[in-house]
Amino acid sequence: MNEEQKPLNIILLGISGSGKGTQGGILRERYNLEYIGTGDLLRQFSKEDNAVARRMKQELAEGKLVPTWLPFYLWMNKLAHVSEKKGVLFDGSPRKIMEAELLEDVLDWYGRSNIKAILIDVSPEESFRRLINRRTCEKCGKSAYISQEKTEAICEYCGGVMRIRPEDNPEAIKTRIKWFHDEVSQVIDFFEKKGQLIRINGDQSVDDVTKDMIKAIEG
């Protein structure tokens, strides 16, 4: 079996606000991928009533990184239940060079060698602008970018109230942007040196980003 015939494994990279969630959903549907979203897994875990979850929730609100072992444990646990015949989409991991090396080791052990790391490239200024205007529906969880002048907005999908995420305050956003350039930039270099990195201009429209990704994957 050549690489093209093996299950597709996509590692989706990008600064906060780059549109990973939107594009990840599109890729998941198109290629029938199992979605492993670190952010979703962490937010779900933060709702549990235990000391680790409470501390993690506080650190997320401050824009801090949770320790490597926690997201690794969460997505490794999910990956263990995915059929070896089905492709996987990783969104939000790896965030550090050590995580990239661990992920490479795990995928190699599972025989998942058809790997594409996609970077949705967005400037820090655009990232801040998007995040400071981001609202998330408290009912269905969908996000939208809404002017800060609007104190309350209604979700166009379910009618729920759109709220600001605790981690989308100005200082937390600046912290996340800084650690992206301090830590995730090393992960980007890691995959680039392996010839697995695909760079996509994230400042385009959603449709154009999608078209460029599909062209790069299938071309």
**For residue 1, what pLDDT is reported?**
54
d(CA 195, CA 213): 16
pLDDT digits (tens, 9 = 90+) for 59-103: 777 777 778 888 888 888 888 899 999 999 999 788 889 889 989
pLDDT digits (tens, 9 = 90+) for 156-167: 889 899 988 888
Q: Using a CB cutoff of 8 Å and minimum separation of 24, what contacts does 151-156 make? A: none
d(CA 112, CA 8): 8
Question: Are 104 and 117 a contacting pair, CB within 8 Å?
Answer: no
Q: Is the pLDDT of residue 189 over 60?
A: yes
In the structure, what pLDDT confidence band is assigned to residue 18 with cuts at 50, 70 and 90?
A: very high
Task: Specify which residues 13 forms β-bridges with.
Answer: 119
- CATH code for residues 3-122+170-218: 3.40.50.300
Q: Where are the domains of the chain?
A: 3-122+170-218
d(CA 17, CA 15): 6
pLDDT digits (tens, 9 = 90+) for 101-156: 989 999 999 899 999 999 999 999 999 999 998 888 888 888 887 866 555 688 98
